[in-house]
Structure 1
């Protein structure tokens, strides 16, 4: 039997045109868990926070985690308790790039590589030269391709920059005040995440790299700026 008129135009109760439940029909999310005893409430908050961190593709900050726990809950204390529980596990929760992330402990890197298993967080493989270029940008940013060419004593190809950009490590910075106003390049939040740093202040001491002959501030005629606290150019 077919229907006509206004009733035929109405979607089923609680369903939109795509058959998905409307947002207003979703049950209210209970953040406070006031009906639970304090110990069970804390345990549930811990599990929620761990689940969000585990599922997230990028580091998760305070604001995001605060959406799943009570308003008076301390995110820092929850994470401290989670870290304590994971002390004997092969993975841990670390704070990188402004948020928390699940990471395999570094001592298990060798067996993971030996297994040849496909890992969800595998960073793009960089050549030795690309890694050196990325390191130079991290220390001297914002920096132009021309100044990078001076550092390495040869023309730096656009393909090298493109490869680092495609890997998510670089973004365009401000225009240089030099003639022609060329683009500069800066590292991204993903750069910090991939290399396990909270900010650019976690970069190795540049003087040690200069002593090893890996970098030279005099090559580009500038002093490396003090790294910014966020270390991202996006």
Structure 2
């Protein structure tokens, strides 16, 4: 069953009743819930329950309907529906393959939480605490990219995830880019939202997450300097490198080699 549930606030470190056991009885069942203002997904895979932050740490994708598969040596992993990042549901590590095709991990990406069943209820204990109190009105709030988070998914933890649909998949940004001959066509992502993934565009739930993503994108892991401010445009293409033996124009320099982020 895919659904949303909510619980009332309670003190940090307590167990939160987030669902009934029969809601998560079958294999691959999952629900999206909130506990102390934190948005979570609780899912069953291989007969075990898992709880983790509902919004992908990378660029704000909703994980509720992500594909779940068992990865040898790492157990159940959920796949981000936007960029296909695989995330361990038990450790929150991101999985990737190096040049030798060996599976490696990056720690502290998607925060995971304790989960248990008792008396027909599913209970979660937060590992990162509930929503912090709002600062006084005269205090300037830092932008998302200016805050050092212990786990990367913390930046989105208290904002509603973008809408998640199991049967309809928005085109990935790379496909839109390729269809446009290397450029994003005008209006590809909606008015006033150039460069955002289609799932972040539109009214309602997820709009604030979309703004946070735009403010925090700066490089290889979803963070690009040209996306730091609202209303940004795509970066200009780099100069075409000169061929061997071809003279450079006066004042022209070879472009930097692309980095790995």
Q: Scaled by the length of structure 1, what TM-score is found?
A: 0.26
Bigger strand fraction: 2
Higher-Rg structure is 1
Q: Scaled by the length of structure 2, what TM-score is found?
A: 0.24
Bigger helix fraction: 1
